[in-house]
């Protein structure tokens, strides 16, 4: 994408030329390589090998489209070459690119051209700020605002509110936070569509907490320059990916972890006469 004019996004422009005339692949790949070099000024950015590949007839959303792949390998792996020789074998080592562990890459599909093409991207190397050059500086991408994006965004916002904002604004026990996390993930798993009013009524419940949640949502959107709609279809794929981060765990010193999976009424927090804190847990059977 580009903030003012899509034609000013260099990767978009060069790839557009390749789609218009695949015979220009080499010519445009030189321009793409120069652009990548110009985006790699940070001293911690590794060098490597850059590949531009043209793919025909890729299946995307039940349609066949062409695509351009941009790949950069920054690390070499050592591998063995074993060749038969008489009654034995000759074993040599060599350096090469691990095809199962791509450093950086993307596939740009010839679809939605007016909006900036659909892109599948991977970046498996350094997660530090300087290494974001592949997505932010070179490709200059932004995530599609579809059901997957909205589902991930509201789940991240809800988790942040429960784990960070809530204990700052209210006196809340860890067990209550665990219960809110459980109710949140249950809501996303059971509903096909998201409605903010329904989420507030079924998960947040208490009016004063709902009011704080609404203010937090406003601040969250403003700080991240994003918008979370009040209603959208829930992406099951996004829920499956995100649910692992909703861990309802109460950590007690270095001795115990209590995993809370369900009924909040079955766990109580207290303090005995000599000041030691405790949790009382009710259960039917030990497994």
Q: What is the pLDDT of residue 130?
A: 58
The pTM is what?
0.68
The pLDDT value given to residue 50: 94
pLDDT digit string, tens, across residues 158-192: 999 999 999 999 988 888 898 899 999 999 999 99
Q: What is the 3-state secondary structure (H, E, C) of the chain?
A: CCCCCHHHCHHHHHHHHHHHCHHHHHHHHHHHHHHHHHCCCCCCCCCCEEEEEEEEEEEECCEEEEEEEEEEECCCEEEEEEEEECCEEEEEEEEECCCCCCCEEEEEECCCHHHCCEEEEEECCCCCHHHHHHHHHHHCCCCCCCHHHHHHHHHHHHHHHHHHHHHHHCCCCHHHHHHHHHHHHHHHHHCCEEEHHHHHHHHHCCHHHHHHHHHHHHHHHHHHCCCCCCEEECCHHHHHHHHHHCCCEEEECCCEEEECCCCHHHEEEEECCCCCEEEEECCCCCC
Low-confidence ranges of the chain (pLDDT < 70): 1-2, 125-131
Q: What is the CB neighbour count within 10 angstroms for residue 16?
A: 18
Calpha distance 220→156 (Å, rounded): 10
CA distance 181 to 158: 9
User: What phi and psi values does residue 33 have, to the nearest 5 degrees?
Assistant: -65, -40
pLDDT at 219: 95
Identify the pLDDT of residue 192. 95
pLDDT at residue 26, as a whole number: 96
Contact between residue 151 and residue 231 where contact means Cβ atoms under 8 Å apart: no
User: What pLDDT sits at residue 254?
Assistant: 78
């Amino acid at each position: 994408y580009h903030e003012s004019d899509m034609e000013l996004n260099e990767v978009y422009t060069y790839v557009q030329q390749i789609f218009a005339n695949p015979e220009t692949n080499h010519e445009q790949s030189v321009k793409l390589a120069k652009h990548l070099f110009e985006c790699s000024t940070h001293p911690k950015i590794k060098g490597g090998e850059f590949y531009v590949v043209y793919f025909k007839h890729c299946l995307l959303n039940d349609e066949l489209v062409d695509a351009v792949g941009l790949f950069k390998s920054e690390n070499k792996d050592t591998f063995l070459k074993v060749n038969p020789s008489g009654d034995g074998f000759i074993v040599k080592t060599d350096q090469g690119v691990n095809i199962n562990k791509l450093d950086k890459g993307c596939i740009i599909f010839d679809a939605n051209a007016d909006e900036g093409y659909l892109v599948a991207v991977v970046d498996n190397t350094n997660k530090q700020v300087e290494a974001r050059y592949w997505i932010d500086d070179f490709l200059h991408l932004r995530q599609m605002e579809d059901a997957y994006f909205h589902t991930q965004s509201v789940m991240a916002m809800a988790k942040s509110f429960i784990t960070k904002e809530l204990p700052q604004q209210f006196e809340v026990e860890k067990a209550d936070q665990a219960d809110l996390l459980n109710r949140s993930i249950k809501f996303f798993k059971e509903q096909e569509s998201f409605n903010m009013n329904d989420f507030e009524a079924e998960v947040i419940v208490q009016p004063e907490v709902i009011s704080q949640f609404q203010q937090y949502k406003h601040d969250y959107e403003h700080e991240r320059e994003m918008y979370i709609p009040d209603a959208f279809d829930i992406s099951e794929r996004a829920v499956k990916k995100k649910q692992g981060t909703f861990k309802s765990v109460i950590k007690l010193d270095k001795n115990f972890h209590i995993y809370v999976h369900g009924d909040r009424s079955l766990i109580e927090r207290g303090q005995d006469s000599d000041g030691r804190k405790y949790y009382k847990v009710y259960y039917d059977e030990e497994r």
